[in-house]
Chain A
Amino acid sequence: MTTDPKFNPIRKGLLEFLILQIISADKVYVADMMKRLQETDFATQEGTLYPLLSKMRREEYVDYEWQESDSGPPRKYYKLTAKGKTQLAEFKDYWAYLNTTINQLGR
């Protein structure tokens, strides 16, 4: 939507929570995540995504399991952990709070 570089830090900070949101619906593998993000303002690349996912796994927000695929080698399917679900809920609350704050400040 916008390419103003000033918004980059915001996008950067939000990416992690958006991934939580994507994973929350269903188990996904990285190419899926990429495809979904591609259509948004948060399109990203493997070079960024893999290190980020490994960090989130280390912090126990997500986990993965291997699943065979019919079109190639087995894939890593990511899913949320309990900790990840809590975090996502907290994030959504916080986001709503931020929205109200921003809207009210202008009045």
Chain B
Amino acid sequence: MNTVIIINLNGNAFHLEEPGFQSLRAYLERAQAALRDNPDKAEIMADLEQAIADKCAHFLRPHKNVLTAAEIDGVLKEMGPVQSENAADAAASASTSAGNGPNAESKSSGTAASAPKRLYQIREGAMISGVCTGLAAYLNIDVTIVRIAFVVLTLLTTGIWILVYVGMMLAVPFANTGEEYAAAAGAPFNAQEVIDRAKKHYAEFKDSKEWRRHWRQQRREWRRRWHEGAYWWGHNLQRNVQQFSSSAGYGGHLGATLLIPFLAVFNAVLFCACVAAIVSLATTGAIFGWVVAGSIPLWASILILIFFYSMLSQPLRHARRAIYFSTGGHSYYWFAAWYEILSTGVLILVCWFAYTHVPEVRDFFQHFAQNVTTMWNNIVESFHHTATHQPGPGVDARLPAAAAAASASAFLALRT
């Protein structure tokens, strides 16, 4: 037994089994998308609907007035995928297997290669808004890697990267229709996919009660932590400022003016050194020629490097904030702007210097795309290596130790 849906195809009423209706809708949606820029879209859609209606009519008898899902699938296969006439219409490639021939599958795989990819936000499995899940689908990599990259970038840019996230959150559209989901992953879109997705949704929905409870718990936990953290930060800052202004007074003002360039230079140099170290590690497997202990995988050593960097830079940042505040609220922005300009200037200077005087750096930038790909492949490989291979007993003990050290340093860095 199956639910029956009545539809109107270009003025003709048809009774379809529900799965058949789903595939038909998917087919027409896809046709709409393919003809998006076609000036005759409405007319072609009407023609297609009429053609489908004609084909469907062949299956109807006085005592059989419902079209089965299999019949609809057959009709749609016979119709063939709709291609906009100027964009890669593989007309003839379809011609070799017209009708419902056995090579119908090869056709859809042909479109797979040319399926356009678009960036969407995907709510399914999203932590915040779906930016990372969308990016992961777009780049065809694991979402965890994207998330780690975002966190790392946020740490490295001292939070500015969050703005990129927020910007994408606002600018990147959400994937809503099945076709958009397909475009997000660059996968071919067909009726079967829609059906599979619907089944999956249903399964998820069945245990959604438990899932919702879990989500609520998680949210509560996040809120609690957020409040705690905010309170602690404010409290600490206030104390720092009080210490500074009481001990320094006007001298503090002058000292701050002199201290800021120093901090800016130091921070910029530190940042460059960290980036260079990571690049050197990822491309050659050694930091400026110094080989890291072989048992630590590449990704872990990069994480450790980043933690060292934040351990060094976090106290600097706090000192800077304290200086801003010690000079009194009104000149805060002026100092902040000056600091940013200075450190950006130093950053550019260091990059320029390295580019003109260090041949390795110049090499790196001249084959930038290739090098980045190599780096990325190295990191992913090391990740997979650790994930798939059970480490030996010696490494077994060292890995958790490294992880513990890393988290401890992170903790310290935040507490400073």
Give A contacts to B, CB under 8 Å.
3, 5, 7-15, 30-31, 37-38, 41-48, 50-52, 54-55, 57-58, 72-73, 76
Contacts and interface: CB of A to CB of B under 8 A. Distances in A.
Contacts of A38: 98-99
Contact of B92 (A9, A50, A51): A9
Nearest to B107: A45
Interface of B: 11-12, 31, 34-35, 38-40, 43-44, 47-48, 50-51, 54, 57, 78-86, 89-96, 98-99
A7 B90 CA distance: 12
Given A12-B90, A54-B43, A55-B86, A41 B81 contact: no
B80 A46 contact: yes
**Interface of chain A: mostly helix, strand, loop or mixed:** helix
B11 A73 contact: yes
Top 8 A-B pairs ranked by shortest CB distance?
Answer: A45-B80, A11-B92, A43-B98, A47-B80, A12-B92, A54-B40, A47-B82, A55-B85
B40 A46 contact: no
Most buried by A among B39, B43, B84, B94: B94
A37 B12 CA distance: 28
A54 B42 CA distance: 11
B84 A51 contact: yes
A51 B44 contact: yes
A7 B92 CA distance: 9
A60 to B, nearest CB: 13
Given A48-B89, A52-B85, 18 more contacts: A3-B96, A5-B93, A7-B92, A11-B93, A12-B93, A15-B91, A15-B92, A15-B95, A38-B99, A45-B94, A46-B80, A47-B48, A48-B95, A50-B82, A51-B34, A51-B82, A51-B89, A73-B12
